[in-house]
Copies of this chain bind each other. A is one copy, B any other.
Amino acid sequence: MNRHILFIFLLLGTGIPVPARAADAVEAARAFRQVHPDLILNRFAQFLAVPNVAGDTLNIRRNAAILRDRFVQRGATMEILELPGASPLVVGRLPAPGATRTLGIYVHYDGQPVDSTAWTDGPWSPVLRDGPLSEGGKPIPWPGPGQTTDPEWRIYARSAGDDKAPFAALWAALDALDAADIARTSNLVFFFEGEEEAGSPHLEDYLRTYADRLQADVWLIADGPAHQSRRPQLVFGVRGVTSMQITVYGPEHGLHSGHYGNWAPNPALLLSQLLASMKDADGNVLVEGYLDQADPLSEADREALATVPDVDRALMDEFGLARTEGTGSLAERLLLPSLNITGLASAKVGREARNVIPPTATASLDLRLVRGCKPEVMQELVEAHIRKQGYFIVREDPDHATRLAHPRITKVTRGRGYPAARTSMDDPIVRPLVAAAERAAGEPVILMPSLGGSLPLYLFNEILEKPVVIVPIANHDDNQHAADENLRLANLWYGIDLWAAVLTMED
In the bound complex, do residue B259 and residue A453 qualify as a contact, i.e. CB atoms below 8 Å apart? yes
In the bound complex, do residue A354 and residue B342 qualify as a contact, i.e. CB atoms below 8 Å apart? yes
Choose the segment among A17-25, A154-162, A262-270 that binds chain B (4+ C-beta atoms closer than 8 Å): A262-270
Choose the segment among A87-95, A314-322, A484-492 that binds chain B (4+ C-beta atoms closer than 8 Å): A314-322
Q: Is A1 an interface residue (CB 8 A)?
A: no
Distance, CA A257 to CA B334, complexed state (A):
11
Distance in Å from the Cβ of A132 to the closest Cβ of chain B?
A: 20
Distance in Å from the Cβ of A356 to the closest Cβ of chain B?
A: 6
Interface residues of A in 344-372 (CB under 8 A from B): 344-350, 352-358, 361-364, 366, 368
Q: Which residues of chain B come closer than 8 Å to A316, judged between CB atoms?
A: 404
Interface residues of A in 325-346 (CB under 8 A from B): 325-326, 330, 333-334, 336-338, 340-346
In the bound complex, do residue B349 and residue A343 qualify as a contact, i.e. CB atoms below 8 Å apart? yes
Q: Take A257-B340, A258-B453, A262-B325 as given contacts and tell me if A245 and B349 are in contact as well, using a CB distance cutoff of 8 Å.
A: yes
Choose the segment among A44-52, A77-85, A176-184, A248-256 that binds chain B (4+ C-beta atoms closer than 8 Å): A248-256
Q: Is A148 an interface residue (CB 8 A)?
A: no
Within 8 Å by CB of A283, from B266, B354, B452, lies B266
Interface string of A393-413 (1 = CB under 8 A from B): 000000010011111100000
Within 8 Å by CB of A245, from B245, B251, B353, lies B353
Q: Is A172 an interface residue (CB 8 A)?
A: no
- Name, among A264, A326, A342, A363, the residue most crowded by chain B CB atoms within 10 Å (CB to CB): A342
In the bound complex, do residue A452 and residue B261 qualify as a contact, i.e. CB atoms below 8 Å apart? yes
In the bound complex, do residue A252 and residue B319 qualify as a contact, i.e. CB atoms below 8 Å apart? yes
Q: Which residues of chain B come closer than 8 Å to A276, judged between CB atoms?
A: 269, 272-273, 275-277
Distance, CA A346 to CA B265, complexed state (A):
21
Interface string of A292-327 (1 = CB under 8 A from B): 000000000000000000000001110111111110
Distance in Å from the Cβ of A392 to the closest Cβ of chain B?
A: 9
Q: Which residues of chain B come closer than 8 Å to A357, judged between CB atoms?
A: 340, 342
Distance in Å from the Cβ of A87 to the closest Cβ of chain B?
A: 23
In the bound complex, do residue A320 and residue B362 qualify as a contact, i.e. CB atoms below 8 Å apart? no
Q: Residue of B at shortest CB range from A275? A: B272
Q: Take A252-B319, A272-B271 as given contacts and tell me if A342 and B334 are in contact as well, using a CB distance cutoff of 8 Å.
A: no
Top 10 A-B pairs, shortest CB-CB distance: A258-B453, A320-B403, A276-B276, A353-B364, A268-B341, A262-B338, A252-B320, A272-B275, A323-B407, A261-B338
Assuming A271-B272, A342-B349, A355-B366, what are 4 further A-B pairs, CB within 8 angstroms? A272-B273, A272-B344, A342-B355, A353-B366
